[in-house]
Amino acid sequence: MKRFLWIFLAVSLFSLVWVGNVFAQKPTPSDDEVNAVASQMFCPVCENTPLDVCPTQACAQWRELIRTKLSEGWNADQIKQYFATQYGVRVLAEPPRQGLNWLVYIVPPFLIVIGVYILFRAFRSMHTVNQLAGGETEPNGPATDEYTSRIEEELKKRN
């Protein structure tokens, strides 16, 4: 009895898989799905134009290739990887984070941090100079050059 139960379970599982197989197979990916991947790539034929909007025949073929790969169940990263090996890394909108390319991502933050440091030091040194000079130096008093505040003061005096 117990054995039959197992067989029955196995058979029903198999039939479930068999019937469900049709759902696992993806329908032809829509243009939108294709474009979602294509917009992250550039094609060497039309330089600096994203692949999803490039009107040339070459790019249309590339988009069809993306469609094929999507229907084979590839995901966006796999497809990008495939295109990068096939046509060179310049198809990627951003250089891959490896080797020399790390410089792209590291140098700007590094320089910005240096900028922040310089600014911070400038502020601090000015602060110390101020304290040496005997506390707050208020050249004209707070906001004397403000036309509005002058008018406001004027108002106060009148009231």
Partner 1 sequence: MNEGNSTPNAEVEAAPKRGVPIWIQVIIWLLLLGLLAIIAFNMKRSQQGSLKVGDPIQNFTLSFFDGYQFQGKPEINLSDLKGKVVVVNFWASWCKPCEQEAAALESVWKTYESGGQVVFVGVDYVDTEPEARKYLSNFGITFPNGPDVGTKISQYFRITGVPETYFIDQAGNLAYAQIGPFGSESEIQAIIDPLIQK
Partner 2 sequence: MVEDFGYGVLILSFILAIYAIGSAVYGYVHRSQKWVESSRLAMQLTFPILTLSVISLIYLLVNDQYHVAFVYEVTSRSMPMYLKITSLWGGQSGSLVFWAWLMAAFSTAVSLRKWDRDREFLPWVVVVTSLTMAFFVGLVIFYENPFLQYWKSFSGDVISAMFQPAGSAFFAPTDGRGLNPLLRHPGMVIHPPMLYLGFVSFVIPFAFAIAALVTGRTDDRWIRITRRWTIIAWTFLSLGLVLGGRWAYDVLGWGGYWGWDPVEISAFMPWLTGTAFLHSVMIQEKRGMLKYWNMLLIILTYALVIFGTFLTRSGVLSSVHAFAQSAIGPAFFIFIGITFVTSVALLIYRWADLKAESQMTSMLSREALFLLNNLLFMSILVVCFWGVIFPLISELVTGQKITVGPPFYKNATGPLFAALVLLMGIAPLSAWGHSTLKTLGQAMWKPLIASLVVMVIIFFGFDIRQPYALIGFFVIFTSAFITIYEFWRAARARSRAQKENILLALWRLAGRNRRRYGGYIIHLAIVCMSLGIIGIEMFQTQTQGTIAQGQSLQLDGYTVTYKDLAVFDTNDNRNVARAVLTVSKNGQFLTELYPRRDYYYESQQPMTIPGVRSTMADDLYVILVDWQPILSSGATFKIYHNPLVNWLWLGSIILIFGSIVAGWPDKEVEIVPARVRRNQIAGSAVGQQVD
| Binding interface with partner 1 (CB under 8 A) | 43-45, 56-58, 60-62, 64-65, 68, 85-88, 90, 129, 137, 139-140, 145
Question: Which of 74, 58, 57, 60 shows the shortest CA–CA distance to 31?
Answer: 60
Residues 6+ apart with CB under 8 A from 83: 41, 62, 91, 92
In angstroms, the Cα distances linking 44 to 47, 56, 103, 111 are 5, 11, 23, 31
Q: Where are the alpha helices (DSSP H) in 53-101?
A: 57-71, 76-87
Residues 6+ apart with CB under 8 A from 103: none
Instruction: Give least dist CB 44 to partner 1, A.
Output: 5
Using the contact rule CB under 8 A, the part of the chain among 12-20, 64-72, 75-83, 132-140 near partner 2 is: 132-140
- From the list partner 2, partner 1, none, partner contacted by residue 29 (C-beta under 5 to 8 A by kind): none
List of residues contacting partner 2 (CB under 8 A): 30-32, 35, 40, 42, 44, 47-50, 53, 55, 60, 88-95, 100-101, 103-104, 107-108, 111-112, 115-116, 119, 122-123, 126-127, 129-130, 133, 136-140, 142-148, 150-152, 154-155, 158
